[in-house]
Amino acid sequence: MLVLGRKPGEYIVINEQIMVKVLKSEDGHLRLAIDAPHDIQIIRGELLDQNKEKAALSR
The pLDDT of residue 28? 86
The pLDDT of residue 22? 96
The alpha carbon dihedral of 51, 56, 58, 59 has a sign of positive
In this predicted model, what pLDDT tens digit does every residue of 1-59 receive, in sequence order?
A: 999 999 999 999 999 999 999 999 999 899 999 999 999 999 999 999 998 888 888 88
Sequence-distant (≥ 6) Cβ neighbours of residue 4 within 8 angstroms: 12
